[in-house]
Amino acid sequence: MTKGLILLRILLLVGLLLAPAAGWASETRVDATGGLTTILDDETTNLDLFLDGNPAGLVLLNTKDRFDLAGEWSYSDQEGPWGSNKQQVFTTIPRYTDSPLKYEGLMLFPDPHWALQVTGDTLITQGVPSANYSNETETDSQYRGMVRVAYALPFGALGLEIMDTESDTAYDAGLFNPYVGITSGSAAQNQVFLKSGFITTFPGPTSPQDPRWQMGGYFETQVGSSDLDKNLNVAYSTPPPFTVSQTNTTSDFTDWGAELLYELPSVAKLRFTASMINSDNNFEQSVPFTSAYFGNLVHYHLAQYQAMTVGGAFKVTLPFSETENLKLGGMVNGFFFNQDILRVGGTVSSNNQREQVATAFGVGLENPKEYTMGLQWKSLSYTKASDVINIGGTTSSVSGTGNSYYQLAFGGEKWVSSTWAFRLGIVGEIDDYVDTSISALTTTIDAGTGVEEAFGRMDLRFWLGQSSDMGNQANTMGLIGAEVSTTLFL
């Protein structure tokens, strides 16, 4: 036997042993059950290192040539003393609140050595309350294009990814502050990111049922400049209006992560992750004339930012009866954020910090390809603090807030036939806003269906919900949305 054939057989064995069990790959499917991420067996929730955004994981997927496309529309209507706000979201990103690109676009696996993914998506959000200006809303648009390539080695895999992101904002008329109005405005930014990753397995498995460890890591950096150019048309109580031009430049951006996964096939998975992001921000401003609130600012170092995330997750499948399995799953994530805001002279003017802990735990029963049902608890709590630092270095004021939410979801999936399933989920959530002394109760009903055939699959999800201030029922928000995910095997 030639060395080439021996190497090819080794690669085929490695690809088989490292890959997860074949299954559905659809956030829509999982979310239609109420978001049972800790319970439902799905490629998008199986703790694979590919789901952390590691490009090397692409070549280790147990799938085939495919094209994935999704679409989502959601609408919320807020009324009452909270204020009035109507918001719409249009997107092609399944579960757009998740950052890394996963099963999207075109995936090709020409041989055991190589894998290629080409994809693009869009996210448009209308009626977003502006973070910078009071009583103002904006429309945010994001467009991304990405190419991933991965190569399989006998002991693991290497991956490379390049992504282009364009972000645009259109500001609605509102108030800049009580004395200055904003009639319109726009902002645009283009960023290019390059990411590399690796994954290795130890000890070398000899059969698909051998326990194994996977270790991986990735590093991402920004390529070229990334100016956020903003033009605001503002006016005082008396004319004339004038234009404020601002430029924010992100520099020295790095994002790296380390991952460790233990798997006992068909029984348990345990994953640990850690990531760190660093970046700096520079700022400049130009105006046609100096006024009480606006003046020309030369290019200077405005802010420096660091964030760290650490987490752990597990999934366990245990025999419960002759036909049923007990499903257990959970996760704990910690997020730590620090930002220094600088003066033109380089001294620190303020410091912002945030600490956040998120948890989830689920328990359920499954009869494979018959039904899955479960109960899941999720929580998130965070505290954020900021202080103002005088030029002399003393702290003049300190402020802090803390918010949290607690969520309970019950749902499941029933296979009516070998190719057709119905899904239903009921979710209740309590949000405590400590800084405003408000507690809100949100209830949501999810429903969906899915079809799986040899050539592909399709999942549909619909949801309807309402959020109410528990202290004042006049404060309400209505929620409605629909989502579809499709996969075509090539």
Residue 73: the pLDDT is: 96
Domains of the chain: residue spans and CATH: 3-297+411-489 (2.40.160)
CB-hemisphere CA count at 13 Å for 414?
6
| Helix H or strand E encompassing 170 | strand 156-171
Q: Report, in angstroms and rounded to the nearest whole number, the Rg of the chain calculated over CA atoms.
A: 25
Return per-residue pLDDT of the chain as tens, 490 residues: 444 433 333 333 333 333 333 346 789 999 999 999 999 999 999 999 999 999 999 999 989 999 999 999 999 987 765 566 788 999 998 888 877 889 999 999 999 899 999 999 999 999 887 665 555 788 999 999 999 999 999 888 999 999 999 999 998 888 887 788 888 899 999 999 999 999 998 887 677 788 999 999 999 999 988 899 999 999 887 778 899 999 999 999 999 999 999 999 999 999 999 999 999 999 999 999 888 888 999 999 999 999 999 999 999 999 999 999 999 999 999 999 999 998 888 888 888 899 999 999 999 999 988 999 999 999 999 888 888 777 666 666 666 677 899 999 999 999 999 999 999 999 999 988 776 677 889 999 999 999 999 999 999 999 999 998 887 877 888 999 999 999 999 9
47: β partners: none
pLDDT tens digits for 422-445?
999 999 999 887 766 778 899 999
pLDDT tens digits for 286-323?
999 888 888 999 999 999 999 999 999 999 999 999 99
Q: Note whether 253 and 279 are within 8 A (CB).
A: yes
| Phi, psi at 11, each rounded to 5° | -65, -40
Instruction: Give the predicted TM-score (pTM) of the model.
Output: 0.88
What is the residue whose two structure tokens read 């008329």? 173
Q: Note whether 400 and 382 are within 8 A (CB).
A: no
What is the pairing mode between strands 137-153 and 114-129? antiparallel
What does the alpha-carbon distance between residue 303 and residue 327 come to, in Å, rounded to a whole number? 46
Residue 9: the pLDDT is: 36
Q: Note whether 40 and 30 are within 8 A (CB).
A: yes
| Phi, psi at 112, each rounded to 5° | -65, -15
Query: Would you state the torsion angle of the CA atoms of residues 367, 369, 375, 381, taken in this order, to the nearest 10 degrees?
Result: 140
Q: Note whether 442 and 476 are within 8 A (CB).
A: no
Asked if the peptide bond before residue 203 counts as cis, ω within 30 degrees of 0, the response is yes
CA distances (Å), origin 398, targets 181, 285, 307, 391, 401:
29, 28, 21, 16, 11
Residue 2: the pLDDT is: 44
Residue 323: the pLDDT is: 93
What does the alpha-carbon distance between residue 49 and residue 56 come to, in Å, rounded to a whole number? 9
What does the alpha-carbon distance between residue 445 and residue 466 come to, in Å, rounded to a whole number? 10
What does the alpha-carbon distance between residue 267 and residue 3 come to, in Å, rounded to a whole number? 36
Asked if the peptide bond before residue 208 counts as cis, ω within 30 degrees of 0, the response is no
